[in-house]
Amino acid sequence: MTKDKCKTAVIFRKIKFKKVDGFCYGEIIAIFPYVVEGIRLSLQDTMCYSFSCQHGSCDYDYIIYISEPATEEEYRGLKDHMENDVGYNIKAIKQRNRASLSLSRTFRSNHVGSRFTHDKDTHKIFIGYNEYSYSVAVFPYTIGNSSVMGDVSLLVYHHKVRQIHDHVYSRQLLNLQPCSYKDKKKVMNILEMCCPYELIPIKEIDTDKVNMLIALEEIKR
């Protein structure tokens, strides 16, 4: 099976109690900490996967309580199955980061997620330092919602606060300073885990293309 190009963060746990409804003692569970599931769609409703139940949903705090961290040797079989037979591209992590969870929910919301289309340009990002020397990722070809009446915005991710939002378009927004490989990697690792789409890092921004997109958007409005 073809492996997913997007990385998926997974926490592998082993059931530690002998009497637990729905699970067997010693069973290995794969938890998707940044994929919200279930009816309530709360922070606690998280997707999970196991050999016995396949895909399902679970309460995050509850599943953590009834389990313990699985070793790499213990979860290797489930991980191989999920990658080779199901098609996941797994990044094993130890615990969930709440800021990353909030970022993941933002990506999956209609407010942001609907802007990522089959057009690969909407998946392209440019990572650099802003005027305050903070790492920023700009989606230069993804138009955001109007921040101020008449203004056109682009989608921007600020790594310091782990937030993605609309930023009013300006030349300064695209004039980011070169970013170190280490900081670029940090940003990409977070975004790849939280974003359900394949992201394409680019080395430079085609400003003519951005200006054309901005002009077309202004005509629509």
Q: Is 59 among the domain residues?
A: yes
> Both 50 and 126 in a single domain?
no
Domain boundary among 47, 73, 96: 96
Q: Which domain holds residue 89?
A: 7-96
pTM: 0.74
What's residue 184's pLDDT?
93
Q: Is 118 among the domain residues?
A: yes
Average pLDDT over the chain, rounded to an integer: 84
Is residue 189 predicted with pLDDT exceeding 90?
no
> Both 169 and 211 in a single domain?
yes
Q: Is 2 among the domain residues?
A: no
> Both 56 and 124 in a single domain?
no
Please give the residue that has the higher pLDDT: either 142 or 19. 142
> Both 119 and 193 in a single domain?
yes
Cα–Cα distance, 104 to 125 (Å, whole number): 17
> Both 180 and 116 in a single domain?
yes
> Both 122 and 216 in a single domain?
yes
Identify the band that residue 11 occupies on the pLDDT scale cut at 50, 70 and 90: very high
What are the tokens at 2? Answer: 């073809």
Please give the residue that has the higher pLDDT: either 117 or 80. 80
Q: Is 1 among the domain residues?
A: no
> Both 41 and 142 in a single domain?
no
> Both 126 and 145 in a single domain?
yes
Q: What is the 3-state secondary structure (H, E, C) of the chain?
A: CCCCCCEEEEEEEEECCCCECCECCCCEEEEEEEEECCCCCCCCEEEEEECCCEEEEEEHHHHHHCEEECCHHHHHHHHHHHHHHHCCEEEECCCCCHHHHHHHHHHHCHHHHCCCCCCHHHHEEEEEECCCCCEEEEEEEEECCCCCCCCCEEEEEECCCCEEEEEECCHHHHCCECCCHHHHHHHHHHHHHHCCCCCEECCCCCHHHHHHHHHHHHHHC
> Both 162 and 195 in a single domain?
yes
Q: Is 193 among the domain residues?
A: yes
pLDDT in tens, 123-169: 899 999 988 889 999 998 888 765 444 567 788 899 888 888 888 77
Q: Count the domains in the chain.
A: 2
> Both 56 and 145 in a single domain?
no
